[in-house]
Homo-oligomer: A and B are copies of this chain.
Amino acid sequence: MKQVFDYIDGHWQEAVEDLMQLLRQPSISAQGVGIEETAKLVAQMMAQYGVSSQVLPSKGYPVVYGELSGDSPTTILFYNHYDVQPPEPLELWSSPPFEPTFFEGKLRARGVADNKGNIMARLFAVKAYKQVQGRLPVSVKFLIEGEEEIGSLNLPAFVAENQKLLAADGCIWEGGGVNWNGQPLIILGLKGIAYVELEARGAQCDVHSSMATIVPNPAWRLVWALASLKDWDENILIQGFHDGIRSPTEQEIEAIKAIPWEEEELKRSLGLERFLKNVTGFDLKSRHLLAPTCNICGLSAGYTGEGSKTVLPCQAKAKLDFRLVPGQRP
């Protein structure tokens, strides 16, 4: 393996340049921006790295598939996604989101950590091993989809229709990282998600706010509706929301206790004085790992620019996501 690591140390600049090329290509699934172009680019790169690749259609955005046989038929499937989150609000970026820029030795761009950096790291690892050893010890497959950031709506059908193609002995999920001490993290499960948009409507157009005496304001309706979902003490009030959630087992509790967790570093990095509900220690870890959420991702109504505008808006919208745990039936 030392030779493989030496190869990586000697050639990492090439991988960084390829990553930068991938980062320059926008691929915003929520907005339908750059999807086809990115799928094609990923497939091209895969081929350059020695993995035979193809772009496969799905009911939604295309999936990039790749494979490379090794010394053993035992197969590892890598799951990744080439789409990224919307870069808005743009004014908070210190460099343009699709122009990768180095800050203190780290590359900054939309999607560098989620998930384009991981794609390149995996492809480069395969290439390095192959260059040095000639052949991989196992076979590998890649499934790189374009809808992860919008809920992977069409992936289940794609997987069902391509079971043979995707068959593998194990699957390694999209990411991974290190904790504040530099220890690599292995994550053995993820929550599910439900994403909803709520919209309230009032008059047929915005009206002058002096009419608030007699014209219903959908922003108020939205506020009241949202306030009915979760109370001040963070209790989710939706009927049946917690049905089916089981308590953690003894084994799970022990495992959670054993996870190292750097509370202070995390708090500092977030600029927080305390966590939600002031949880610490075991409660913090267990809440983060086991609790479902009901989160407001976005709110919009009426005038949100500089200064004041006396308006009674005709619509109000909220985007919410729910992180779901085993047993819940959304």
Tell whether, in the assembled complex, residue A220 and residue B296 are in contact, meaning their CB atoms are under 8 Å apart.
yes
Q: A215 at interface (Cβ–Cβ under 8 A)?
A: yes
Q: When the two chains form their complex, are residues A305 and B85 in contact, meaning their CB atoms are under 8 A apart?
A: no
Once the chains are docked, how many angstroms separate the CA of A213 from the CA of B279? Answer: 10
Q: Which of B151, B296, B310 contacts A195 (CB 8 A)?
A: B310
Shortest distance from the beta carbon of A273 to any chain B beta carbon, whole Å: 10
Looking at chain A's contact residues, is the secondary structure mostly helix, strand, loop, or mixed? mixed
Contacts A86-B305, A271-B203 given; indicate if A214 touches B287 (C-beta within 8 A): yes
Q: Does A291 contact B (CB under 8 A)?
A: yes
Contact B276–A213 (Cβ < 8 Å): yes
Of B214, B231, B321, the contact of A310 (CB 8 Å cutoff):
B321
Q: B223, B275, B302: which contacts A215 (Cβ < 8 A)?
A: B275
Instruction: Name the distance in Å between A9's Cβ and chain B's nearest Cβ.
Output: 31
Inter-subunit contact B213/A288 (CB<8 Å): yes
Looking across the interface, which residue of chain B has its beta carbon closest to that of A227?
B227
Instruction: State in angstroms the CA–CA spacing of A262 and B59 once bound together.
Output: 53
Judge if A174 is at the interface, Cβ distance under 8 Å. Answer: no
Let me know if B303 and A308 touch, CB within 8 A. no
Known contacts A210-B323, A214-B288, A321-B308; A313 and B300 CB within 8 A of each other: no
Task: Confirm or deny: A11 has a beta carbon within 8 angstroms of a beta carbon on chain B.
Answer: no
**Which residue from B209, B307, B316 sits with its C-beta under 8 Å from A86?**
B307
- A115 in contact (CB, < 8 A): no
Q: A304-B299, A310-B297 are in contact. Are A220 and B212 (CB under 8 A)?
A: no
Instruction: Tell whether, in the assembled complex, residue B293 and residue A311 are in contact, meaning their CB atoms are under 8 Å apart.
Output: no
Nearest 3 Cβ contacts at the A-B interface:
A204-B271, A30-B307, A212-B295
